[in-house]
Structure 1
Amino acid sequence: MVGVPESHSGWTFITSHARVLAAIADNPHIRIRDIAARCRLTERAVSRIISDLEQAGYLSHTREGRTNTYRVEPDKVLRHPAEAGLPVASLLSLLVQDETERTRKPVAP
């Protein structure tokens, strides 16, 4: 079982909501426990964020046995007026690695 991640002080460029959404976009079958570890959040915080994202229409899920399958709504526009008109897909293109990028080995100098 994964413990509570160490705390972080200071500001960051990416919000916890964006990190959770990116983790789900990267793997629609990901478990809350794994999202928490990847995003360095508690499972409770991840559950709350998923609920926020679902209520706002950015995310939905279907239950398959004991697991959830998530669906990100890529055409939903971002909420802040400074990003007016930008779809979620624009944000995710910055945060989610393409499969080819993930499996590519670094080139030696």
Structure 2
Amino acid sequence: MSAGSWTFLSNHGHVLVSLARHPDARTRDVAQLVGITERAVQQIVADLVDQGFLRKEKVGRRNHYEVAPDAHFRHDLESHVSVGDFLDLVVGRAGDHQAGGGHGRSTSTSSTPAS
């Protein structure tokens, strides 16, 4: 990546946004969207699941992902921001992208803020 092509979000943030938009996406699809390897996506998903930002459920041969909207950013500077509020800003409102849904986010999932 050249000096002029950096972005504000990390790969973890990009994977989270991708799965919020496409909760049934395959690892290879997320890797292609984000621009990283499938193995990197697998590791990031494991990190996000382990820290309570994401839930993964096996549905047939595929995975379905749900973002924990009540989890909060980990860094002190952003710890007041919930993942749900962030996704509302970045992905858009629930009705904008998925009828009856919410970016793959579970509205009934209560999550302890990750630290």
Unaligned runs of 5+ in 1: 1-7, 101-109
Cα deviation digits, residues 5-38 of structure 1 (max 9, x gap): xxx2333211110100000000110110000000
Q: 2:27 matched to which residue of 1? A: 32
Q: How does 1:7-86 map to 2 (within 5 A)?
A: 8-10=1-3, 11-86=6-81
Q: Which moved more, 1:68-77 or 1:83-92?
A: 83-92
- Aligned 8 A contact 1:23 1:96 in 2: no
Unaligned runs of 5+ in 2: 99-115
Q: 1:5 matched to which residue of 2? A: none
**What is the TM-score with the length of structure 1 in the denominator?**
0.79
**What is the TM-score with the length of structure 2 in the denominator?**
0.75
Q: 1:99 matched to which residue of 2? A: 97
**What percent identity do the matched residue pairs reach?**
41
RMSD: 1.5
Q: Quick one: higher RCO (CA 8 Å, sep 6+), 1 or 2?
A: 2
Amino acid at match of 1:9: S
Aligned residue pair count:
93
Runs of 4+ in 1 over 3 A off after TM superposition: none
Alpha-carbon separation, structure 2, partners of 1:9 and 1:68: 34
Alpha-carbon separation, structure 1, partners of 2:12 and 2:69: 15
